[in-house]
Amino acid sequence: MGQAQVIDGKAFAAGLRARVAERVAKLKAEHGLQPGLAVVLVGDDPGSQIYVRSKGEQTLEAGMHSVTHRLPAETSEADLLDLVRALNADPAIHGILVQFPVPPHIRQSAVLEVLSPDKDVDGLTVANAGRLASGLPALSPCTPVGCMLLLRDALGELRGKRAVVVGRSNLVGKPIAQLLLQADCTVTIAHSRTVDLPAVCREADILVAAVGVPELVRGDWIRPGAAVIDVGMNRLPSRDPVKAAQGKTRVVGDVAFAECAEIAGWITPVPGGVGPMTVACLLQNTLTAALRLNGIAE
The H-or-E segment that residue 80 falls in is helix 77-89
186 bridge partner residues: 162
Is 170 near a copy of itself (CB under 8 A)? yes
What is the smallest separation between the CB atom of 141 and a copy of itself, expressed in angstroms? Answer: 12
When the beta carbons of 87 and 183 are compared against a copy of itself, the nearer one is: 183
Q: How far apart are CA 175 and CA 182, in angstroms?
A: 11
Q: Could you tell me which residues come within 8 angstroms of residue 280 by beta carbon, excluding any fewer than 6 positions away? A: 13, 14, 16, 17, 20, 58, 146
**Contact range with a copy of itself by CB under 8 A, out of 4-12, 161-169, 215-223, 255-263:** 161-169
When the beta carbons of 24 and 163 are compared against a copy of itself, the nearer one is: 163
Active site residue 284: no
The H-or-E segment that residue 104 falls in is none
What is the smallest separation between the CB atom of 211 and a copy of itself, expressed in angstroms? Answer: 14
**Residue whose C-alpha is closest to residue 94's, from 278, 297, 298, 287:** 287
Active site residue 99: yes
Q: Does the CA dihedral 119-121-126-131 come out positive or negative?
A: positive
Is 160 near a copy of itself (CB under 8 A)? yes
**Catalytic residue, candidates 58, 99, 178, 284:** 99
What is the smallest separation between the CB atom of 213 and a copy of itself, expressed in angstroms? Answer: 17
**DSSP designation for 149:** H
When the beta carbons of 76 and 192 are compared against a copy of itself, the nearer one is: 192
Q: How far apart are CA 151 and CA 268, in angstroms?
A: 10
Annotation-wise, does 19 bind a ligand? no
Strands 234-237 and 65-71: unpaired
Q: Are 183 and 159 in contact (CB under 8 A)?
A: yes
What is the smallest separation between the CB atom of 40 and a copy of itself, expressed in angstroms? Answer: 21
Is 28 near a copy of itself (CB under 8 A)? no
**Catalytic residue, candidates 120, 122, 205, 230:** 122
What is the smallest separation between the CB atom of 146 and a copy of itself, expressed in angstroms? Answer: 20
Is 148 near a copy of itself (CB under 8 A)? no
**Residue whose C-alpha is closest to residue 68's, from 85, 82, 49:** 49
Is 156 near a copy of itself (CB under 8 A)? no
When the beta carbons of 175 and 275 are compared against a copy of itself, the nearer one is: 175
Annotation-wise, does 167 bind a ligand? yes
Strand spans (E) along the chain = 5-6, 36-42, 65-71, 95-98, 162-166, 186-190, 206-209, 227-230, 234-237, 249-252, 266-267
Query: Pattern 104-143, binding to a copy of itself, x per CB under 8 A?
Result: ---------------------xxxxxxxxxxxx-------
Binding site membership for NADP(+): which residues?
167-169
- Which of the residues are catalytic? 55, 99, 122
Binding positions for a copy of itself, rule: CB under 8 A: 125-136, 159-162, 168, 170, 174, 177-178, 181, 184, 186-191, 193-195, 200, 203
